[in-house]
Amino acid sequence: MASDGIDRYGVMGYPVSHSRSPVIHRLFALQTGQNLQYELLQVAPDKLQNAVRQFQRTGGKGLNITVPHKAEVARIVDQMSERASRAGAVNTLVFQDGDIFGDNTDGVGLIRDLITNLGIQLRDTNVLILGAGGATRGIIAPLQESDVASVTIANRTLSKARDMVTLFKSSGSITACTFDEVSGQRSYGLVINATSAGVKGDSPPYPEAAISKETFCYDLSYGLTPTPFSRWAAERGAMRSVMGWGMLVEQAAESFHLWRGVRPDTVSVLKQMAISAS
Q: Rg of the chain over CA atoms, in angstroms?
A: 19
- Pick between residue 127 and residue 135 the one whose CB is nearest to ligand ATR: 135
**Distance separating the N- and C-terminal Cα atoms of the chain:** 35
Q: Which residues bind ligand ATR (CB under 6 A)?
A: 131-136, 155-157, 160, 194-197, 200, 202, 204
Rounded least distance, CB 231 to ligand ATR, Å:
16
User: What span, in angstroms and rounded, lies between the C-alpha atoms of 274 and 132?
Assistant: 29
- Pick between residue 202 and residue 235 the one whose CB is nearest to ligand ATR: 202
- Pick between residue 172 and residue 204 the one whose CB is nearest to ligand ATR: 204
Strand partners, 41: 12
Rounded least distance, CB 34 to ligand ATR, Å:
30
Rounded least distance, CB 61 to ligand ATR, Å:
27
Count of C-beta atoms within a 10 Å radius of residue 221 = 18
Please indicate whether residue 61 is annotated as part of the active site: no
Count of C-beta atoms within a 10 Å radius of residue 121 = 14
Rounded least distance, CB 156 to ligand ATR, Å:
3
Strand order in the sheet with 79-80: 36-42, 7-13, 62-65, 92-96, 99-103, 79-80
User: What span, in angstroms and rounded, lies between the C-alpha atoms of 261 and 229?
Assistant: 36
- Pick between residue 36 and residue 110 the one whose CB is nearest to ligand ATR: 110
- Pick between residue 179 and residue 256 the one whose CB is nearest to ligand ATR: 179
- Pick between residue 106 and residue 250 the one whose CB is nearest to ligand ATR: 106
The answer to whether the Cα torsion of 136, 141, 146, 148 is positive or negative is positive
Q: Where are the beta strands (DSSP E) in 43-91?
A: 62-65, 79-80
Rounded least distance, CB 197 to ligand ATR, Å:
4
Catalytic residue among 70, 169, 200, 271: 70
For residue 7, give Cα distances in angstroms to 36, 65, 147.
Answer: 5, 18, 39
Q: Which residue is nearest to ligand ATR (CB)?
A: 133
Cα pseudo-dihedral 193, 195, 200, 204, rounded to 10: -80
Rounded least distance, CB 195 to ligand ATR, Å:
3
Active site residue ranges: 70
